[in-house]
Amino acid sequence: MTDLKLIIEPEELETYLHNPDVVIVDLCKAKQYRKAHIPGAHFVNYPDIIHVEKPMMGLLPSGQQFSRLISGLGITANSHVVAYDDEGGGCASRFIWTLHVFGHSKTSLLNGGLFSWANEGHSLTKEIPEKTISDYSLSNTGNYTVDSAYIMQHLDDDHVALLDARSLVEFTGKKKFANKGGHIPGAKHYEWTDAMDRAHNLRLLPYESIQQKLDQLGLTKDLEVIVYCQTHHRSAFSYVMLRALGYEDVKGYPGSWSDWGNRDDTPVEQ
C-alpha cells in the first residue's frame, strides 16, 4: 500500500476503509463511540494507553501493557494505524506518539478527527468490528521521549528548545495543578489549541501559518524540540504537529508538569 502521511484528510481515509493493512483506532469518549464512529474503527479507552504513579500522570505504559493492547486490536508490524478522537487530536496524538516510542512508525492522525469526518458527510456506524488478535510485541525504544533529568542537563543547551502546550494561566503560574506553578525555564508558550482552525472542523491551521508562529518563538526546525503540558496529553498533539511540519528531532516528556511541578529539584519560571 502507499505510505500515508502523518496527517491525512477524511477523503483519503475513506479510500482505505476496507484495506486490511489499515487499522482505524477511535479514542473518543466511550459514549460517543457507542453512539457513532467511523466504520471499522476499534475503540481504545485513553486511560489504557498511559500509566499513573500519583502525583505523576500520563506516564508511559509498560511494554507488556501496551503490547497486550496493540495485539488485541489486531495490529501487526505491517499495519498502518490511523487514529482519531472527538477533542481536536490530543488523545489520538498521544496514542500515535506512544506507538512511535515503542517502535511503530506507520501512523496517521485524522485531521480534525470525528469533527471533520462527521460534519463533512462521511458515513458513521454503531456496528462494532470484529477483532483479530495478533502476536505483535512491542518494547520501549527510548526514542522520542525524555525525562526530567534529560531536560535538566540541557536547560542551557542552545540546540534544545522547550514548547509548553498548556494554557497561558498555567504557563504563568496563575493556575497550577502541581505543588509548583509556572513553566520550565526557557520554555516557549504555544497552546495546543492555537494551532487548530475552528472554522474548518478543528483541522490544523495552514502549515505556513503555524511555522511562522513557531519561527517567531524561536522554535526553528534546526533545534531539538521537547514538548510538554500537564501530563503530555495536549503536547502530544504538538509533537504530531511538529513532525508533520518536518521537524526531525522532537521529543515528548511523559508526566510533564505533573512530574516537573511536583519535584523538589526542578527550577521554575513564572
Does one domain contain both 104 and 185?
no
pLDDT at 145: 98
Whether 28 sits among the annotated catalytic residues: the reply is no
Does one domain contain both 171 and 242?
yes
Query: From the candidates 7, 229, 242, 245, which is the catalytic residue?
Result: 229
CA distance 56 to 4: 34
CA dist 35 to 38, 100, 128, 223, Å? 11, 30, 11, 43
Tell whether 206 is covered by a domain.
yes
Q: What is the mean pLDDT of each run of 10 residues along the chain (270 residues)?
A: 87 96 97 98 98 97 98 97 97 98 98 98 97 95 98 98 98 97 98 97 98 98 98 98 98 98 97
Tell whether 20 is covered by a domain.
yes
Burial 93-109 (b: 16+ CB within 10 A, else e): bbbbbbbbbbebebbbb
pLDDT at 1: 56
CA distance 203 to 7: 10
Tell whether 136 is covered by a domain.
no
Residue that finishes a domain, picked among 65, 98, 119:
119
Where does residue 133 rank: exposed (0-12), middle (13-18), buried (19+ CB within 10 A)? Answer: exposed
Does one domain contain both 60 and 156?
no
pLDDT at 2: 59
Does one domain contain both 157 and 251?
yes
Does one domain contain both 232 and 172?
yes
Count, residues in the chain: 270
Does one domain contain both 103 and 160?
no
Does one domain contain both 255 and 216?
yes
pLDDT at 3: 78
Does one domain contain both 238 and 158?
yes
Residue that finishes a domain, picked among 119, 139, 160:
119
Does one domain contain both 163 and 252?
yes
Where does residue 137 rank: exposed (0-12), middle (13-18), buried (19+ CB within 10 A)? Answer: middle
Tell whether 177 is covered by a domain.
yes
pLDDT at 33: 98
- The separation between the first and the last C-alpha atoms of the chain, rounded to the nearest angstrom, is 49
The grid cell for 80 is 498502518
HSE at residue 175, side-chain half, CA atoms within 13 A, is: 6
Does one domain contain both 109 and 182?
no
Tell whether 130 is covered by a domain.
no
Distance of CA 79 to the CA centre of its chain: 19
Pairing of strands 160-164, 188-189: parallel
pLDDT at 131: 87
Does one domain contain both 115 and 163?
no
DSSP E strands, the chain: 7-8, 22-26, 42-43, 51-53, 56-59, 80-84, 107-110, 160-164, 188-189, 196-197, 203-204, 224-228, 250-252
Residue 222: domain span:
148-260
CATH for 97? 3.40.250.10
Query: Structural domain tally of the chain?
Result: 2
Does one domain contain both 113 and 186?
no
Residue that finishes a domain, picked among 100, 119, 138:
119
Q: Are 85 and 91 in contact (CB under 8 A)?
A: yes
CA distance 114 to 144: 27
